[in-house]
Structure 1
Amino acid sequence: MARQAGRGRVILGSMSSTKVDALRQVPLFANSTRADLEFLATRIDEVEVEAGRTLIRQGSSSDSFYLLLDGEAEVEVDGRARPALGPGRFFGEISMLDRGPATATVVTKTPVRLMVMSHAQFRDAIKASDQLLSHVLRVAADRLRRDDMERHTK
């Protein structure tokens, strides 16, 4: 299933070991089995997006989970810059978990290569992997806790 996300160019091709190899390099999937990665590769799209594109806008609905393979993205929460995201980082998970509005704005700083999942694809992936769900929840909780602490220390 190929689709376009983040106004990028969809990279077409067979579900090859290239996707599996790319997923294996991401810390989120470091302990996943090859079978889990192959399953995930069938539920994720790979796209390239030029610099300066907004992928997620804080307060807007978001229907995608993003996994950054190459390039950098800038993050802003409540008008304040956050640390940039680089290869191996992911975002959009909070909206995937609760279907609420995006909690940050993410803009590509450089051309990027991403793997993108729709809500349905994300739901299928986390249903199939307790490990993936646990890790995504842990990272989401850490991000929310850090943002909450920063708000209270202003």
Structure 2
Amino acid sequence: MDILRQCILFQNSSDSDIKNIATMMNPCHVQEGESLALKGNKATSFFILVSGMMLLELDGGKSIVMAKPGDFAGLDILSSKGTYCSSLTALKNGEVLTIKRGDFLDLIQEDSSNAEQIMQSWSEHISNELPFLEVPEDDENQYQY
């Protein structure tokens, strides 16, 4: 639960929401060089960094290094297109928490106030921390919440 609290998406979630989310998370050990998500592949999981270091490769040669517990990737699971728009690779051995696409969709569809909070936190995070990141909203990338 501490790692979930460190993730900006869940910082304002209630204790009961955090407990619910925690039950859906699966710990996964990763090895240096391991690919967790490949651009264009079916988006199956959302990732939260516990330890180690990850590289999120974006379009246009841009990238983000994830090195802080609570950093996250994979909200592509919410798009109607359902494919990853970036690639995620382990730069160091470590651990991530994963949640499967169906479980995450169930979570946000069952609890609209929590879903709104998660999406608002995500939007603020992109605006404040990743201003260079463009999030296209077209018919292929409509979000399912």
Check whether TM > 0.5. Answer: yes
Whether the 8 Å CA contact 1:70–1:113 is kept in 2: the answer is yes
Residues 31-76 of structure 1 show CA distances to partners (whole Å, capped at 9, x for unaligned) of 2211111111111111111111001111111211111121111122
Is 1:93 matched with 2:75? yes
Structure 1 residues 140, 27: CA separation in 2 closer, same or farther (over 3 Å shift)? closer
Q: Counterpart in 1 of 2:3?
A: 22
Gaps of 5+ in 1: 1-19, 149-154
Residue among 18, 21, 31 paired with 1:50: 31
Contact 1:28 1:132 in 2 (8 A): yes
Amino acid of the structure 2 residue aligned with 1:57: L
Deviation at 1:95, TM superposition (A): 3.2
Distance between the aligned counterparts of 1:39 and 1:135, measured in 2?
Answer: 18
Partners of 1:111 and 1:54 in 2: CA distance = 12
Instruction: Return the structure number with greater relative CO, CA threshold 8 A, min gap 6.
Output: 2
1:108-154 CA deviation, whole Å, 9 max, x = no partner?
Answer: 00112111111111112223213123323x16865697247xxxxxx
CA distance 1:27–1:141, change in 2 (3 Å): closer
Q: Percent identity?
A: 24
Aligned to 2:120: 134
| CA RMSD, Structure 1 to Structure 2 (Å) | 2.6
Which moved further from structure 2: 71-80 or 84-93?
71-80
CA–CA separation in structure 2 for the residues paired with 1:120 and 1:81: 29
Whether the 8 Å contact between 2:43 and 2:76 is mirrored in structure 1 is no
Higher-Rg structure is: 1
Question: Is 1:77 the counterpart of 2:84 in the alignment?
Answer: no
Runs of 4+ residues deviating >3 angstroms: 139-145
Q: 8 Å contact 1:76–1:106 — kept in the other structure? A: yes
Q: Which of 69, 75, 95 does residue 113 from structure 1 map onto?
A: 95
Query: In structure 1, what is the Cα distance between the partners aligned to 2:105 and 2:21?
Result: 11
